[in-house]
Chain A
Amino acid sequence: METPPSAAICEGFGTVIDKTAYSMTLFQDAGSDPRLAARRFADLLACFGSIGNSILGLPLDFGERKGAIAASIARTAHRPDLEINALYYAGVLSGIGAVGNAALRKGTPPTARIAAMLRWDVPADAARICEQIAGLPAGTADIVRWHMENWDGTGYPDQLRWHTIPVPAQILHLGDVAARVTDPEDALATVNLESGRTYAPEMARTYSSWFHLTGGALDAGGAPLDALAPEASSAVDLLDTMADRLDEHNGTPDRWRRVSALAEGVAEALGAGDEDRRALAIASMLFGIGEAAAEEPENVKFDPLSRLGSAERARNADTAARVLATRETLHAAEATVRSRSEWYDGSGKPGGLQHDAIALSSRILSACIAYEAIDQAHRTQPRPDRLRPIERIETASGSQFDPTVTRALAVVARTHA
């Protein structure tokens, strides 16, 4: 039977999960509470932004700070509310083009010169993703696309110049420079120095007015949730997009789908509770956040069963957990992701947790990630003289992995094979 793409989101190993049931697995139903749906959506947007920023080497909250500054400047300049809201989310999402960018993703690195050119595509790539996200304020994508253009035509991606750069995009550019410094006065000096080049003289004046009126202090309002209009499936669609982009970035296309399918099967076999399954569903989609900012995918650098790689895996797990920890909607998956590098016998990292002290969702996730990596390597480079993937996993049963999990995984893997 042919499955329509909208109805099936996960076909890894032949498993098809109905999208409605899948959404329920990820989130508690928001019911008819639009505020809750908007908060959840805003959380995911901020998470996506944080992933991009971590790849760009920026603080995780850089996008929110940038958006908040830009919105504040726009308010000072008496811009329309719709634009102010769009500016906030444009700031939040301005770095998401880094996820999957050809200069930043895993693989053979381009030369420094080519990499610099490829990085110019980050705003346009981010805008393309924004255009696919239903529920953002109108105009968000365009602000993202052009916010790194310079007034004199030397910016990127389009080398637009003068008045062809929309005013909100110019304002977000100001937000960008201000968010990069700890003292807004430093940004004031930069903006004045670059007046007529990077920034329009009128914009430099606008920044100056904002700085003198507010002292660079930001409102404590947070994300303008009322400006979002998420549909019922927006959060799940966005999470799918994030996971797909992450896998593409890490050079492991569709990995999350395979890991999710396995993890879901194992969780079901072990009778895991709803909370564990929800955490597992989110964690198996986003555990790759940690690898995104690292130089190489962990399984390229170290064998998934190697003790040598445990520090690297723990570091990646911690990075991903820190991103998830700041988002209420994804918070449930934090512990699952953080402990996925623990070993069942207590010799793992970061906490040296043992047996049941490691959450069931983490024990399942770590075994599924390792199996998936070994299985993919086996498929691309079969070695008849080596053990089959599940046999290799079984060799680590009781030490690295929980024996009950490996037994369930063996059954699930055989079913899927």
Chain B
Amino acid sequence: MIELHERTRRISPSRLIEVLRRYDVSSVVDPFMGLPTHLNYLKRHGMAVHGGDLLDWFVRVGEGIVANDQTVLRDSEVAEIVEMLPGKIYAIDRFKAWEGVFFSEEQCIYLGVWHDNVRGLRSDGQTGLAVLGLWHVLCYWLLKAQFPDDMQDVPPSELAWSYIRQTEQWVMTNLRHNSVRNADVLATIGAHSADALFLAPPARNSFRNADARIWMWEAWWQGDAYYNIEHAYRNSLFGARSVEEHAYARAMASVLSAAQNYPLIVIQTTEQHLAEFEPLLRDARTHIETIAIHSDEYYLVGRR
């Protein structure tokens, strides 16, 4: 059984928007976006949002709930994702390596079928919504493996159907251009101009301790049960070069330096890591404010 860590950072967009509104921000770039549900929130509240990440499935989800303004999946389309289509040839062994380790045989077959069905969708928006919905199924299964008696047995296609249908509720337009890109931090920062740059930097070496629910879904999306997310991070700014402490600080300094065109930089951190980021931000910005919510939720705001 796989251990499900409690390391996921809390990003509260309803709080973030309070911070951003203090400075009249109406557009934001987040180059470490991760699962972009917070960008969906900001978009829903009228902000133009642009996100970037190195994991492709995060970007696909962003295509579904950030960049996508109107495309949803209708019932018939969802039905064609969650079940094996007659006459279609599937690589049902694609995730066989996970069988008996993380999932049952039936679950592995479904993962293969869903992978092929989702890859066949023609719209980026629909693909993103399906990727998000099916990710919830993966999370459910992994959790159920830990709590077999506490959770309901739900047939895979039924579970997938309900989760994918649910994604429709997050699709909306804010009449602004919103985007996501699969790119390293500096590329995302350089590609946009916005009122604010929001940074929730990954902890040092975080990709080596990534949550199974994150790396496993990238492996699923890539269609390779043996996929290692170090592939995605290897040549990135915060990847191999940030293994040691000084390299991490240098990487962060280069991010702040690249952000000089942004009027505002907001770094979300914790009390524990405040001292790590504050001097770096002071080097890059004249006016610094610290907004302390809790020990695990600090915002460092740097203005020119």
Contacts and interface: CB of A to CB of B under 8 A. Distances in A.
B139 A152 contact: yes
Interface residues of A, number: 30
Interface majority SS (helix, strand, loop, mixed), chain B = helix
Contacts of B14: 121, 124, 127, 145, 157-158
B37 A159 contact: yes
A201 B8 CA distance: 18
7 contacts: A152-B136, A154-B166, A158-B14, A158-B37, A159-B41, A162-B4, A201-B147
Given A154-B166, A196-B147, A196-B151, A145 B139 contact: no
Contacts of B140: 152, 196-197
B177 to A, nearest CB: 20
B150 A201 contact: yes
A162 B139 CA distance: 10
Interface in B131-168: 136, 139-140, 143-144, 146-147, 150-152, 163, 166
A192 B9 CA distance: 27
B12 A195 contact: no
A193 interface: yes
B44 A158 contact: no
Contacts of B13: 157-158
A196 B136 contact: no
Interface in A84-119: 113-114, 116-117
A146 B12 CA distance: 9
B40 interface: yes
B3 interface: no
Nearest to B7: A163
B147 A163 contact: no
B38 interface: yes
A195 B152 contact: yes
Interface in B261-296: 294
A94 to B, nearest CB: 15
A128 interface: yes
Contacts of A127: 14
Given A117-B172, A152-B140, A157-B41, A145 B12 contact: yes
A154 B167 CA distance: 9
A162 to B, nearest CB: 6
A-side interface mostly? helix
B22 interface: no
A195 to B, nearest CB: 5
Interface of B: 4, 6, 8-15, 18, 35, 37-38, 40-41, 44, 136, 139-140, 143-144, 146-147, 150-152, 163, 166, 169, 172, 294
Nearest to B166: A154
Contacts, number: 73
Contacts of A177: none
Contacts of B147: 195-196, 201
Interface in A116-158: 116-117, 121, 124, 127-128, 142, 145-146, 152-154, 157-158
A230 B37 CA distance: 37
A62 B57 CA distance: 42
A205 interface: yes
Contact of B38 (A114, A158, A163): A158
Given A145-B12, A158-B41, A161-B8, A116 B144 contact: no
A201 B143 contact: yes
Contacts of A411: none
A395 interface: no
B136 A153 contact: yes
Contacts of B40: 159
A166 to B, nearest CB: 9
Contacts of B172: 113-114, 117
A117 B151 contact: no
A160 interface: yes
A323 interface: no
Q: A-B pairs with the 6 shortest C-beta distances?
A: A164-B10, A124-B14, A196-B151, A201-B147, A159-B37, A201-B150
A323 B136 CA distance: 42
A190 to B, nearest CB: 12
A145 B15 CA distance: 9
Nearest to B65: A159
A204 interface: yes
B12 A196 contact: no
Interface string A173-197: 0000000000000000000110111
A403 B212 CA distance: 77
A196 B144 contact: yes
Contacts of A160: 10, 12
Nearest to B171: A113
A19 to B, nearest CB: 27
A1 to B, nearest CB: 31
A160 B296 CA distance: 15
Given A153-B136, A161-B8, A116 B150 contact: no
A158 B4 CA distance: 21
A205 B150 CA distance: 8
Contacts of A159: 37-38, 40-41
Contacts of A162: 4, 6, 8
